Amino acid sequence: MKEFPTFALVVAIITGCGVMGPDPAATYDLTANFFVTDSAGKAETHFVSGESFDMSFSMVNNSRDTLVYYGSPQPPVVFLILKNGRVVATSIDGYAFPEVVVGRVLFPGDTLSGYWRAPTTPAQTPPVLLSPGTYQAEVVFPEFKDKTINRIEPISLVIEK
């Protein structure tokens, strides 16, 4: 079982994950979308053990403000797969990132996005094999104080034999 930095897990819990979709009647400073699809791009939540699937996230800065966020050089969007509340795989497993803080900018109208062919990364040996069961797909991304965003929910995944 892979360990995930406590800080990132706390951020995931605070952030909330998955997507219900933006409320068409609401105006948000940031609009986020989180999807799980099969490798052909079709929305799917049931997979066979050993099958790869895609996780993608995008967040658009609808505000008039240039937004600055800080973090380590790791990607600003990190995907997680959890089973019974425990992280079993992430999109950064097997990679090393220096412990420095870098500033990044999200200009008005720009999109912050991320993609992962789950459940393993090219840096992992051996590859992750999800056993049959129910999992949660989540995404961690930068938060911006005083900016509204549509609610993001975990996506339930079922892995079958």
> What single string gives the DSSP state of each residue in the chain?
-----HHHHHHHHHH--S-----TT---SEEEEEEEE-TTS-B--EEETT--EEEEEEEEE-SSSPEEEEE-SS-S-EEEEEETTEEEEETTTT----S--EEEEE-TT-EEEEEEEET--TT-SSPP-PPSEEEEEEEE----TT--B-----EEEEEE-
Whether pLDDT at 90 is above 60: yes
- pLDDT for 3: 46
Is pLDDT of 26 > 70?
A: no
110, pLDDT greater than 60: yes
- Residue 118 above 80 pLDDT? yes
- Does residue 17 surpass a pLDDT of 50? no
What pLDDT is stored for residue 97 in this prediction?
A: 87
Which domains, ranges and CATH numbers included, belong to the chain?
Answer: 6-160 (2.60.40)
Tell me the whole-structure pTM to 2 decimals.
0.82
